[in-house]
Amino acid sequence: MSAGSPAEYISHHIQNLTFGKHSDGTWGFAHTAKEATEMGFMAINVDTMFWSLLTGVVFCWLFRKVAVSASVQKPSKWQSVVELAFEMVAGSVRDAFHGRNALIGPLALTIFVWIFLMNLMDLVPVDWVPYVSQQMGISHMKMVPTTDVNATFGMSLSVFALMIYYGIKVKGVGGFLGELAFHPFGKALLPVNLVLETVSLIAKPLSLSLRLFGNMFAGELVFVLIAALVPFYLQWLLSVPWAIFHILVITLQAYIFMMLTIVYLSQSHESHDSH
């Protein structure tokens, strides 16, 4: 797929399809990264929303199909895959979550499978989707939602909201604020405790979002660099080994996000006074 110089090619492939308000007051799609930046906070990355929702629908459809047709005597291949994922997540929840909450298991399974499917889009050759979208009159199209920091940060904020909610629900407002103010050094060092615990609390959603985004964006960028800088007849020699290695990264990043979510929510259900 020709897109001018290598720099223009790379810039095109890492730019989202952004819709928002232009500087002249009109609404529409951004054609450059500068235009997308000028649209500000209210702009939306349409491709990120589309592919994340599509993978979510695929996840729901696949699991429902397996649930409806599940068989003990003759399990299908998909049923075996789903059962394997379920057992892995259930074991992780049993090991890492020390409270009692029926939401944690389904939440952990949803996070792992959904993020895995979004990450899996990174294995689609980098030119296929942009080429098809350009034939349809769409200027830009990134198909890996987790390479958009807005998506990863949105997911981490959802986890953060659950942390705050269950922290207050389980410990009460006084207990929740008390942990921020009186730990780890006691009442005498309340200002120090408050700063340390607040920074630690805020760092959790940041670490969730930036770790996933950084790893997936770096992986996508390697594919784009290979396509932009390496002659076509040599691209498969580099992209195939990287894709095989990247399967591990894709799975590992989904697992890490899931495990950290379980651990953070477990901490929200615990009280320092009980230790």
In the annotation, is 215 catalytic? yes
Tokens of 190: 């309340």
Q: Please report, rounded to a whole number, the percentage of residues in the chain having pLDDT higher than 90.
A: 68
Considering the entire predicted model, what is its pTM? 0.91
pLDDT at residue number 273: 54
In the annotation, is 100 catalytic? no
pLDDT at residue number 73: 85
Q: Stretch 101-130: mean pLDDT, rounded?
A: 95
Q: Stretch 235-255: mean pLDDT, rounded?
A: 93
Q: Stretch 78-100: mean pLDDT, rounded?
A: 93
Pick the catalytic residue from 11, 139, 207, 271.
Answer: 207
Taking only the tens place, the pLDDT of each residue in 64-82 is 999 999 888 888 899 999 9
Q: Domain coordinates of the chain in residue numbers?
A: 48-274
In the annotation, is 64 catalytic? no
- How far is it, in rounded angstroms, from Cα 50 to Cα 53? 5
pLDDT at residue number 8: 87
The answer on pLDDT for 19 being more than 80 is: yes
Average pLDDT across the chain, whole number: 91
Cβ-count burial 81-117 (b if 16+ within 10 Å, e if not) = ebeeebeebeebbeebbeeebeebbebbbbbbbbbbb
Rounded to a whole number of angstroms, the distance between the first and last alpha carbons of the chain is 60
Pick the catalytic residue from 211, 239, 266, 271.
Answer: 211
Any idea which of 21-25, 66-70, 140-144, 184-188 has the lowest mean pLDDT? Answer: 184-188
Pick the catalytic residue from 45, 215, 239, 268.
Answer: 215
